[in-house]
A and B are shown apart, each in its own frame.
Chain A
C-alpha cells in the first residue's frame, strides 16, 4: 500500500523555466510533509518542508504547496537550473514527526 505517491517518474524542463513536481498521499493522519533531493550514489538531502496548518512555504527558488482536501502537494522550482537535476522525493510523517514515508521519487532533468 503506497501511501505516498509520485506519479511522474521523470520530468524534463528547460533552464530558467518552472519545474513542478507533484506528490499525492492517502493517509489523512499525515500532517507534516518534506521534500528531499538526491543525487546518484548519495543520500537524500533535506530541501523544504510544510506543516499541515499551512498551504504554502517558500524558501528562495523553492516553494511547496499543500492542498489538504485533495491530499496533494507540489514543489515548485523557479527558475530551474541545471544543478537542480536530481531525484526529488516527497515524504510525509504523522504527528510524532519521526517516521517518514517516502514517495517513489521523480527524476528532474533541467536542460541548459
Chain B
C-alpha cells in the first residue's frame, strides 16, 4: 500500500516551454502533497506544500508564478514549470501524506521526474 506515482518519469523540453508533472496517490487519499527538487549529490529541497482544494504554500525563494501547483483532488497534484529554462533542469519528486489507511507520521514519495531543459 501507499503507492505514489509520477508522470512523466523523464521529460526533455525546449527553453521557454511549459512542462506539467503529475503526482498521484494510487491507493490512499492524500490530504497533503509536497513537491521537492533535488540537484545532483544534494538534499531534497522542499518547494511547496499543498492541501487538497487549497492554494499551495511555497517555500522561501520558490517562485509561485513559475512553479504552478494544483491539488484538485485527494489523489492528484500537478506541478507546472512555466517558461522553463536550463537552470530549471533537475529531479522533481512529489510526496503525499494521508490520514487514513497509511502511516500518518511519514510521507510517501513518488519515483521522481527528471526534467532536462535544452
Q: Contact residues of A with B, CB < 8 Å?
A: 2, 4, 9, 32, 34, 36, 41-46, 49, 89, 97-105
Contact = CB atoms under 8 A, between A and B. Distances in A.
A104 B39 CA distance: 10
Given A41-B112, A49-B105, A98 B42 contact: no
Contacts of B95: 43
Q: Interface residues of B: mostly helix, strand, loop or mixed?
A: strand
B43 A34 contact: no
Contacts of B93: 43-44
A102 B44 contact: yes
Contacts of A9: 41
Interface string B22-47: 00000000001010000001111110
Given A98-B32, A98-B49, A99-B49, A44 B106 contact: no
B43 to A, nearest CB: 5
Contact of B43 (A32, A41, A99, A103): A103
A3 to B, nearest CB: 10
Nearest to A93: B105
Nearest to B97: A98
A66 to B, nearest CB: 15
